[in-house]
A and B are shown apart, each in its own frame.
Chain A
């Protein structure tokens, strides 16, 4: 009886995890500029991952794999925000300047991000001219 409950819970968590995963991936594809895509990506990293690993934990039951899964969970819990932060910082430093330079007040609108203008190709063009 308990196993069936646990396995149903695990199946549900896996399903939910996959749903979040796919929505996050969808977000990455559909969002207009880099920073919004980052949000979608961090979403898949957080809830999507935790749900799937939680589901796996339940299917694995007590034992060695459980500990290893928790280790992975803790590791991802620590590293994904840092990676996200570092990525955003380096984007900020290089070409995708954020409009947030002005005073602390939250400025509505799309901010100074010049998003859609394919800086990558411009970047390459400059490189070729060299």
Chain B
């Protein structure tokens, strides 16, 4: 793991746990329909307990709470959703036309992203678009399997990688 990332984690550990407790509180309130004082107290207690356990597990850090990029992330997800719908229609077509339409191919796609989080987002978004699946994630590249060559070609244009890179600044 790159040293740069660990420095950032310690000084803002508190910030991340606050952010995590905020998210958890939101989930609790959203879920429980009953806001009696007793239940709210239990809610606070359990949020506190979970945050404490999460800190012991050293799970609370930049990667798990990417609040620094949350707004840009939403925009990216909007764009990603459009991509998903597109590739879905393509794959549905292949599915209906049957075996002849598909030409499965696998290739290694270079990926220049530094931070783990961005590489994970990039890998997941490739898998999310149905035509392509990230098979393995190595140092500098991704092994991707695609249903059709067009899928691979589209990836190699690097459009998605650029968008993910922009998220990281």
Contacts and interface: CB of A to CB of B under 8 A. Distances in A.
A119 interface: no
B31 A85 contact: no
Interface residues of B, number: 45
Contacts of A80: 128
Q: Which range holds the interface residue count of chain A?
A: 35 or more
B104 interface: yes
Contacts of B92: 19-20, 23-24, 43
Interface in B121-146: 123-125, 127-128, 130-137, 141, 143-145
Interface in B107-124: 107-110, 123-124
Main secondary structure of the interface of A (DSSP, over half): helix
A78 B144 CA distance: 19
B6 interface: no
Nearest to B91: A43
A112 to B, nearest CB: 8
Interface of B: 27, 30-31, 33, 84-85, 88, 91-92, 94-96, 98-99, 102-110, 123-125, 127-128, 130-137, 141, 143-145, 147, 149, 152-153, 156
22 contacts: A20-B88, A23-B96, A30-B98, A31-B99, A33-B104, A36-B104, A39-B91, A39-B133, A40-B130, A42-B127, A47-B85, A47-B88, A71-B27, A71-B31, A81-B123, A81-B124, A88-B133, A92-B135, A92-B136, A100-B143, A106-B105, A113-B104
